[in-house]
Chains A and B, each alone.
Chain A
């Protein structure tokens, strides 16, 4: 049923038809018609951010915690360029985003008009796809297609650039309909023969390990359920990437913890020594593999991914399966159930004994202090005091992020929002705004670093405006901690520009935003202070002053293999655990 309306009205209508309830944005000259249309309706609520980067991160948090498409509206020129970091972040972490950008009128494009930039040119490499709409007749189909492209296959950000004259122009709008795209057809079902081979390989495995990633989360809750089922059925150990946390419950005995550069000893050693690796929805990123030529040398690798270009990109795999995680997992569970043969019990017992010896090293151990708050301790206490609540965690990027991944334990998917691929400092605060908006009654905490959080601190103002009681839990060591750690380990302790002088008083800063500030400096005061933070029904900045010298361990140094991890000095000695002791650096 076609209906005549302006381009600006079409944008609102299309968003509403696509189920959008919230849009994060910032007005400007080239989007004024759309803002005018927004003003005259009540289907979609606009959230005014303080910087366009924050708009995209907020939409990312919204999308990741709900499984829906996050929506952004920004103006031309600087509005679009400010959004680029967020778009790139969403591309790297496969988050479905539709970002509508205003553009100067069609006749001015290419004339260096005021607030003009080549938005589609600039965002081409940092979006899954983008569009410049030069004809009002194309607008409805482009808008609907944008949502389809953003949310289907491997999700990602899509930009729709709409010149101002198109926003004013009148045309006929039609509702979204099922349309087979001419060229874009993501493969959802995995090849059944290959899945059969994979199940066969799993059945004959002696030292198997599941290695799962954000693809399982992106595939929906059902994928996590099926993963749990398959892991239970097989009895195999499972580890996961930073982005995959929560798909499998951390409390389960089969869980090895996160793998990779700051993953647990048992997870990385299991990856290194396994004979069958079942990778589901992860992409063999360089933070996971360490040096590729020494990555899991003796294993047959099964790789399930919806994106064919992820396969054989970094690591050669023996059995690639292109398809959606949930669909492939469903087939795997069914095939595993229908055939009665079971994995070699003796071999599995030996494998688990080996894993328990690795666990015995307690690679996450740290030395507790009664004087200084250890960052690990802060996150452990935060976890203990919030685990029984309906909690969502976001983070910034750096040491605190790794400690959060190590010490906060996730039992459910969609509860953990962190910038993994791009590693965007300043992600967590705006992301928590988006999460809190989607889950107004839940406890939303941004585990932050004091350096990262200052990059997008202005979004506190957004949180206060919309009464979003986010908790910014700053692990404050006055350093860009991860930079300092690398400088300590690799650059002779020359701490070039990694110390932040003249930090603001975070308590006063919170008060300046009309939020609540809490500072804690002693381990003994921590529980009380965290409880206070949780109980305040307002946005809180929590300045947790921690040991400045603490490093994040375990760690695979660059250019090393998984079995060459460095452990912290609190870990158990090598004699108690490992077979090929000579390879391990302590």
Chain B
């Protein structure tokens, strides 16, 4: 590759990227989420989905679940960079760890009358979505599942009067008796 005059090597190589789900156990202290997010933006990593909440109140621990994309080398970097942050206790790559369960929750608001309304309800039933709010002309469905199931449900609601969607992003946990800290 010839490159124009530059003080840096300009790499034009395109490498295939893969998607990984990372669970990060952190001290629940001010600024910890900013550290994690700042790391991603500062180093140019992708975030496809991010969820965070305190999970163990006594230990002041929060769990961050991040879905990210990158080449295998970048994914390894991301894990190592996360692990290097002082308030980070553990980083687990759910995608590598193998059989992990991933779920997402969405609330889907649909507005319509007549046949559309009946159809929306019928589909909601088929997807095991629960109606958690209803008016004469609208429903709010609560649906959990993997992301593709939710994508599909949202797509089906589109012609039936979809108003808005609120999604949590992915949370993940490993199968079997072992915990993340062990």
Return B17 CB to nearest CB of chain A, in Å. 16
Query: Given known contacts A124-B35, A309-B81, A312-B77, is B88 in contact with A286 (CB within 8 Å)?
Result: no
A489 vs B5: C-alpha distance in the bound complex, in angstroms? Answer: 9
Residue of A nearest to B29 (CB): A131
Question: Which A residue's beta carbon lies closest to that of B89?
Answer: A183
Question: Within the complex, which residue of B26, B73, B81, B86 is in contact with A129, where a contact is CB–CB below 8 Å?
Answer: B86
Name the contact of B77 in the complex, choosing from A124, A290, A313, A486 (C-beta under 8 A).
A313
- State whether A183 touches B86 (Cβ < 8 A): yes
Contact with A along B24-61 (1 / 0, CB 8 A): 00110011001100100010000000000000000000
**In the complex, chain A residues whose CB is within 8 Å of the CB of B5:** 486, 489-491, 558
Q: Are B7 and A486 in contact (CB under 8 A)?
A: yes
| Contact A316 to B9, CB < 8 A, known contacts A124-B34, A183-B88 | no
Give the complex CA separation of A290 and B1 in angstroms. 13
Closest to A186 in B: B84
A125 touches B8 (CB 8 A): no
8 Å CB interface, B83-107 against A: 83-90
B156 to chain A, nearest CB (A): 43
Interchain CA distance A559-B6 in the complex, whole Å: 8
- Chain B: how many interface residues by the 8 Å CB criterion? 32
Interface residues of A in 298-356 (CB under 8 A from B): 307-309, 311-313, 316
Interface centre among B7, B35, B90, by most chain A C-beta atoms within 10 angstroms, is B7
Q: Which residues from 210 to 228 on chain A have a C-beta closer than 8 Å to any C-beta of chain B?
A: none
Asked if A132 lies at the interface with its beta carbon under 8 angstroms from chain B, I say: yes
CA distance A489 to B30 in the complex (A): 49
Q: Determine which of A149, A183, A486 lies in contact with B27 in the assembled complex, contact meaning CB atoms within 8 Å.
A: A183
Across the interface, A132 reaches (CB within 8 A) one of B7, B30, B77, B83, namely B30
Compute how far the CA of A291 lies from the CA of B31 in the bound complex, rounded to whole angstroms: 37
Chain B contacts for A311, CB-based, 8 A: 80
Task: Establish whether residues A293 and B13, one from each chain, have CB atoms under 8 Å apart when the complex forms.
Answer: yes
| Chain A stretch 152-203: residues in CB contact (< 8 A) with chain B | 181-184
| Interchain CB contact under 8 A, A121 and B34 | yes
Cβ–Cβ < 8 Å partners of A250 in chain B = none
User: Would you call A558 and B38 a contact (CB within 8 A)?
Assistant: no
Chain A residues contacting B80 (CB-CB under 8 Å) are 308-309, 311
Report if B11 contacts A (CB, 8 A).
Answer: yes
Complex: how many Å from CA A559 to CA B13? 13
When chains A and B are docked, how far (Å) is the Cα of A308 from the Cα of B1?
A: 31
| Residue A120, interface by CB 8 Å | yes
Quick check: B89 and A558 within 8 Å, CB to CB? Answer: no
Residues of A within 8 A of B31 (CB): 120-121, 124, 132
Give the CA-CA distance A289 to B13 in the complex, in Å.
17
B170 to chain A, nearest CB (A): 23
A289 to B8, CA, bound (A): 11
A128 within 8 A of B: yes
Output the least CB separation between A262 and chain B (Å).
13
- Is the beta-carbon distance between B84 and A559 smaller than 8 angstroms? no
> CB < 8 Å: which of B11, B34, B42, B87 contacts A183?
B87
A182 engages B27 (CB within 8 Å): yes
Which chain B residue lies CB-closest to A149? Answer: B86
- A518 in contact (CB, < 8 A): no
Residues of A within 8 A of B73 (CB): 312-313, 316
Identify the interface centre among A128, A312, A491, A559: most chain B CB within 10 Å of its CB: A559
A438 at the interface (CB under 8 A from B): no
Contact of A292 with B by CB under 8 A: yes
One of B2, B10, B83 near A308 (C-beta < 8 A)? B83
Q: How far is the CA of A301 from the CA of B182 in the complex (A)?
A: 32
| Contact across chains for A292 and B8 when beta carbons are under 8 A apart | no
A107 → chain B, closest Cβ, in Å? 16
With a cutoff of 8 Å between Cβ atoms, the chain A residues found around residue B11 in the complex are 292-293
Q: Is B76 an interface residue (CB 8 A)?
A: yes
> Closest residue of chain A to B59, judged by CB?
A182
- Residue B16 CB within 8 A of the other chain: no
Would you give the 0/1 interface string for A455-490, flagging 1 where the beta carbon is closer than 8 Å to chain B?
000000000000000000000000000000010011
Q: Does B148 contact A (CB under 8 A)?
A: no
Task: Give the chain B neighbours of A132 by CB distance below 8 A.
Answer: 30-31
Chain B residues within 8 Å of A308, by CB: 80, 83-84
Kindly report which residue of chain B lies nearest to residue A313, judged by CB atoms: B77
Q: Are B77 and A184 in contact (CB under 8 A)?
A: no
Chain A residues contacting B6 (CB-CB under 8 Å) are 490, 558-559
Digitize A257-289: 1 where CB-to-B-CB distance is under 8 Å, 0 elsewhere: 000000000000000000000000000001001
**B135 proximal to A (CB < 8 A):** no
Task: Give the Cβ gap from A361 to chain B, nearest Cβ, in Å.
Answer: 24
Nearest residue (CB) in B for A556 is B9
> Known interface pairs A311-B80, A312-B73. Does A124 touch B3 (Cβ–Cβ under 8 Å)?
no
**CB neighbours of A181 from chain B (8 A):** 86
Residues of B within 8 A of A316 (CB): 73
Do A182 and B89 contact each other (CB < 8 Å), given the known contacts A286-B8, A558-B5, A559-B10? yes
User: Bound complex: CA of A552 vs CA of B80, how far in Å?
Assistant: 37
A312 & B76 in contact (Cβ 8 Å cutoff): yes
Answer whether A558 and B7 are a contact pair too, CB < 8 Å, given A125-B42, A307-B84, A313-B77.
Answer: yes
Q: State in angstroms the CA–CA spacing of A316 and B12 once bound together.
A: 18
B79 to chain A, nearest CB (A): 9
Partner among A125, A292, A559 whose Cβ is within 8 Å of the Cβ of B3: A559
Chain A contacts for B87, CB-based, 8 A: 183
Which residue from chain A places its CB closest to the CB of B13 in the assembled complex? Answer: A293
Please indicate the chain B residues that have their CB under 8 angstroms from the CB of A491 in the complex. 5
A124 contact set on B, CB distance < 8 A: 31, 34-35, 38
Measured in the bound complex, the distance between the Cα atoms of B11 and A181 in whole Å is: 40
Cβ of B75 to closest chain A Cβ, rounded Å? 11
Minimal beta-carbon separation of B182 from chain A (angstroms): 16
| Segment 79-130 of A: residues with Cβ below 8 Å from B | 120-121, 124-125, 128-129
A291 CB contacts on chain B under 8 angstroms: 9
A316, closest chain B residue (CB): B73
- Output the least CB separation between A159 and chain B (Å): 12
Q: Closest chain A residue to B88 by CB distance?
A: A183
- Give the distance in Å from the alpha carbon of A208 to the alpha carbon of B174 in the complex: 44
Interface centre among A120, A149, A309 (most CB of B within 10 A): A309
List residues of chain A with CB under 8 Å of any chain B CB: 120-121, 124-125, 128-129, 132, 149, 181-184, 286, 289-293, 307-309, 311-313, 316, 486, 489-491, 558-559
Write 24 A-B pairs (CB below 8 A) sorted by A numbering. Answer: A120-B31, A124-B35, A128-B86, A132-B30, A181-B86, A182-B89, A183-B26, A183-B87, A183-B89, A183-B90, A289-B9, A292-B11, A308-B80, A308-B83, A309-B80, A309-B81, A309-B83, A309-B84, A312-B76, A490-B5, A559-B2, A559-B3, A559-B6, A559-B10
Q: Apart from A121-B34, A183-B90, what are 16 other A-B pairs with CB-CB below 8 Å?
A: A120-B31, A124-B38, A125-B38, A125-B42, A128-B86, A183-B89, A290-B9, A292-B11, A309-B80, A309-B81, A312-B73, A312-B77, A486-B7, A558-B3, A558-B6, A559-B1
Closest 3 CB pairs of A and B: A490-B5, A309-B80, A183-B89
